[in-house]
Amino acid sequence: MAALKKNNDYGGDLIKTSRGAKTPMKTLGRLLKYSFLRNKFATVCVFFFVCIASVANVTAASRVSIITTELIDHQMNADMNLIFSNIMMMGCIYAAGAISSFAYNLIMMYIAQGTLKKMRDDMFATMQTLPLQYFDTHTHGDLMSLYTNDVDTMRQLLTQTIPQLISSVLTLLAVLAFMITYSVTLLLVVCVVLVGIIFATKYIGGRSAKYYLANQKALGALNGYVEEMTEGQKVIKVFCHEPNARADFKKVNDALNEAGSVANGYAFLMGPVNNNLGYLQYVLVALVGALIMAFAGEVGLLSIFCSVEKADVANRMAVMAGMLVSYLMYTRQFNMPVQQVSQQFSAIVMALAGAERIFEMIDTTPEDEGGDITLTRGESPDGGWAWKKPLPDGTFEYVPLRGDIRFENVVFGYTPEKVILKNITLYAKPGQKIAFVGSTGAGKTTITNLINRFYDIQSGTITYDGISIRDINKADLRRSLGVVLQDTHLFTGTVMDNIRYGRLEATDEECIKAAKLANADSFITHLPEGYNTMLSGDGANLSQGQRQLLAIARAMVSECPVLILDEATSSIDTRTEKLIEEGMDKLMEGRTVFVIAHRLSTVRNSHAIMVLDHGVIIERGSHEQLIEQRGKYYQLYTGAFELE
């Protein structure tokens, strides 16, 4: 248990944080709406076939009583036609039950798959609407576990557990009806042992569920660790960190192994305990039934056992023997649903906890869409980019998109306790190139994140062409911004597809033109299939510099009026940087450009350079002006051409 109780970055205190669903009935009700109420006709069919299967198994056992009575009562003179007709009837009943079982399991499979598809669709659709802050507070491993582990518990619940529960309840009711008809005395014996089975199920199942939930959390932790180590293989090998990685993985894997072992230990214990209690019940029923048979003729207990009008004791004994055989079969059938339910107890708890996590994610408040001002092209009088502003009278005002972005006393912190930017005031006139320099953590990237409105500021204002960005629809705001990030991400697809990602309606010719401007065409044409070369694994078959060139080409093809270059040339050598400088200058013509750079040689031609330090702009001006000031920028520039 030590591994489970130890806190770690991937699992935390697994036992303490492993709780079931907070509102299990509410979660179950919503899950049923998700699955059965969306498929009403299929649900009715499932219930119908489950009823047939349950009643068939119970009804067939009653035929055994007739066959046994006939054989004991008449022995060699038994009516074989009666026996064979009842055997055939049993065969038909069991066949109907088997066909019904196959039918409802098949229908449940389709219901379950449709439900899981709908659930995954809703999860992914919701994920696309969530703010970046959600992903800052949830690890990739946890999110992946929602799509894999938690969804898989839903599959087991829908395809196995729920049909089995329905079948078990119906079987119990049917068996109970027959058992009451046959003998109240023996039913009391069954109920006494049943209390023990229920107590054992509750005791063992409660502990099993607790550790199964710990197992789910440990599995999510393992997924997150494996994903992180897979992405960081190059770093691991560079620093010869393989032994440490193996040691850390062993800790996470040991936690999963221990949680799984304890959970499965309890689950496997439940089966033998309940089976042995079932055998004890079987023996007690047989014993009490035999005693009733032995003394029925003397003490008159036959009237308690059953109401059979027979002329002699021999006939009564034969009838009672047949009934006892059937009753013993009912005893096994009575125990089977109870055992099935007890075995599904942990699965139910896990599934409801998983469903609650999934619904919690689906119910997460999406990122607000922003204001009602949208971006248009071709609708304004001049036919160019413009902000379409609705007026109270139902008409629209068109504000030309010029790229004038201003910050006024902006204060921002990712958390209220830790302020990152402090009273930032700056402006970028249309067509200007504004550069941000400063040490890591100074707040450079944060400023560009605020322009995109990935996060909302605590105070101050940010305006875009005189319009508060809060009044602009977020999708249109971001559509006006072309971004090249330092950490380039390429998607699975062709090189052409990745360039076209900047503007999906772009033609092949426009994509090739953008690649040439970014100086990416030369290496692309040398790829095995040129622009049709498939990329996978985030472009693992390309160098970092080549991936960054594709990202620049993607920004170029977007034709956005404003560009944000976050260390866009950090992975490009000086020679290549000079080659694309002319193309970048053409791209930036008439556009407002924000540049974040550590390499100071790339910002010398900026109209204004902002030097940040701990969230404050300590210097601003052109390259020449800052050199003349002989301040922080001068020290950085004359000491080295790089900040780090």
Phi and psi at 21, nearest 5°, equal -60, 140
Amino acid at 29: G
Starting at the edge strand that comes first in sequence, how are the strands of the sheet with 608-613 ordered? 481-484, 562-566, 592-596, 433-438, 608-613, 616-621
- Helix boundaries (H) for 363-440: none
pLDDT at 19: 45
Tell me how far apart the alpha carbons of residues 479 and 487 are, in angstroms, rounded to a whole number. 20
Question: Among residues 584, 586, 582, 587, which one has the least CA distance to residue 597?
Answer: 584
From the list 561, 528, 222, 246, the residue with the least C-alpha distance to 405 is: 561
Identify the H or E element spanning 375.
strand 374-377
Specify the pLDDT at position 461. 93
What is the per-residue pLDDT for 307? Answer: 43
Q: Tally Cβ neighbours within 10 Å of residue 585.
A: 11
2-6+23-362: CATH superfamily: ABC transporter type 1, transmembrane domain (1.20.1560.10)
The residue written with tokens 């992914």 in the block is: 124
Instruction: Return the domain boundaries, the chain.
Output: 2-6+23-362, 430-457+473-639
Coil, strand or helix at 449: helix
What whole-number distance in Å separates Cα of residue 273 and Cα of residue 202? 12
Fold classification of 430-457+473-639 (topology level):
Rossmann fold (3.40.50)
pLDDT at position 166 is: 81
Cα gap 60→326, rounded to integer Å:
10
pLDDT value, residue 4 = 38
- Six-digit token pair at 108? 């449940």
DSSP β-bridge partners for residue 613: 616
Q: What whole-number distance in Å separates Cα of residue 311 and Cα of residue 523?
A: 103
Give the E-state strand segments of 413-561 in sequence order: 421-428, 433-438, 459-464, 467-468, 481-484, 493-494, 534-535
Mean pLDDT by 10 residues, the chain (644 residues): 40 42 76 82 88 78 63 59 76 86 88 88 88 78 80 82 80 74 69 72 66 71 77 71 83 82 69 68 69 49 41 50 64 69 71 84 86 85 84 88 91 85 90 85 85 89 92 89 80 89 88 87 89 82 82 84 78 66 65 81 83 89 88 77 44
pLDDT for 493: 87
Residues 210 and 17: their CA atoms lie apart, in Å, by 10
- Bridge-based pairing state of the strands 493-494 and 405-412: unpaired
Pick the closest to residue 596 from 624, 563, 626, 574 (CA basis).
563
d(CA 336, CA 315): 32
Q: What is the pLDDT of residue 473?
A: 92
